[in-house]
Amino acid sequence: MNEQQNQWIKDLVMYGGLFIILLVLASIAPGATLFIVAGMPVPLTIFTYKHGYKRGLIMSGIVLLSTSIFAFTLFIISLPLAGLSILVGLLVGEAIRKQKHPYETLAQGTMGYMIGFILLIFVVETFMGVSLMTEYRVVIQESLAQSGQLMEATGLEVTEDTLAAIEQQMLIVLDLLPAILLVGSLIFALILQFLSYKMINTLDHQKYRFPPFYRFQLPKATIWLFLVVIILDLIDFGPDAFMTIVLMNVLLVFGLLFSLQGLSFMFYYLNYKKQSKVLGIVLMVIGLVILPVGLYVTRILGIIDIGFMLRKRLK
């Protein structure tokens, strides 16, 4: 009993110290923040996996207290980053501890990152007085102004209407921010889960891994949900209506999901035909290079795969 007690305290000091080091690096090195944020929850994930979420909460409290005491000048930046990493680390660590399916663990990690990013944006805009949307608009306007001057200097005529149309297209990114945050959260959660699996397998001699990609399969109900969204999209709610923005984001997410389904079927077919995975990787790279055509092709293939159950037909 004493040995177990000493072990979790040792792990608390070790993983807590590593967490704080990564937090400090993320705060003082803005250029590397995105890379560090993907790995920062790993120490807490492993600690929660080994000792449970209750002791994980104890480690989280100690980390937050240490952050508030020793990071006065970086407090506004470091505290939200710590909160984001703690939320994700606890969710993913507890999911792995309970032997949940890798995709279910991935969903929890994505949800944690999504909530954390929203809170991070709220803190930056509320307490630092920086509006990310306003800053983006300013950058776009300055870039277009410089581009217009450069083109005029080379003898090309650029009208105000042309610049306004380009600006409007670039500002669509703001309307798609929820979908972009969701996709970004998924990518971060995927990296975190991969790193956590690797470390747990090394330290604990486990065999955690993602199932083969060719087994990825969306439920058939996805097609019906997509059909409902398509029908709603035919209704003219107005260009700036809330419903229009929601449908734009939902369609983007559906498109990416069907593209993943299409890529999965491609790998499934190659595996069924006993072909090398290298061929699938080459085709996937080609599809990414010829964007957006590649995404459209894989999206259609994914829809056909779900709707007509191509995998069962192969068998």
pLDDT digits (tens, 9 = 90+) for 169-191: 777 877 788 888 888 899 999 99
Percent of the chain past pLDDT 90, that is, above it, reads 20
Six-digit token string for 110? 């994505």
* Confidence band of 315 (pLDDT split at 50, 70, 90): low
- pLDDT tens, position by position, 249-291: 888 889 889 988 998 998 898 888 888 878 878 877 777 666 6
* Peptide bond before residue 292 is cis, with ω within 30 degrees of 0: yes
- The residue length of the chain stands at 315
The Cβ-side half-sphere exposure at 85, using a 13 Å CA radius, reads 35
Question: Residue 225 above 60 pLDDT?
Answer: yes
Q: Which residues contact 245 (CB under 8 A, 6 or more apart)?
A: 175
Q: Measured between alpha carbons, how far is residue 125 from residues 114, 128, 129, 133 in Å?
A: 17, 6, 5, 10
> DSSP letter string over 196-222?
HHHHHHHHH-----PPPGGG----THH
Nearest to 95 by CA among 73, 78, 75, 112: 112
Q: Measured between alpha carbons, how far is residue 244 from residues 107, 170, 233, 240, 247 in Å?
A: 26, 17, 7, 7, 5
* Confidence band of 88 (pLDDT split at 50, 70, 90): very high
* pLDDT value at residue 89: 92
* pLDDT value at residue 98: 92
* pLDDT value at residue 123: 78
Distance between CA atoms of residues 36 and 22, nearest Å: 7
* Confidence band of 74 (pLDDT split at 50, 70, 90): low
Percent of the chain past pLDDT 70, that is, above it, reads 90
Nearest to 124 by CA among 79, 58, 66: 79
Distance between CA atoms of residues 120 and 115, nearest Å: 9
* Pick from 43-52, 125-134, 271-280: least confident: 125-134
* Confidence band of 71 (pLDDT split at 50, 70, 90): low
Nearest to 117 by CA among 105, 104, 132, 97: 132
3-class state of residue 279 by DSSP: helix
Is the distance from CB of 266 to CB of 301 less than 8 angstroms? yes
* pLDDT value at residue 93: 93
Q: Sign of dihedral through CA atoms 150, 156, 161, 162?
A: negative
For residues 196-224, give the mean pLDDT: 89
Q: Sign of dihedral through CA atoms 90, 11, 102, 246?
A: positive
* Domain ranges within the chain, ordered by starting residue: 1-129+178-211, 131-175, 213-315
Question: Residue 79 above 90 pLDDT?
Answer: no
Q: Which residues contact 128 (CB under 8 A, 6 or more apart)?
A: 76
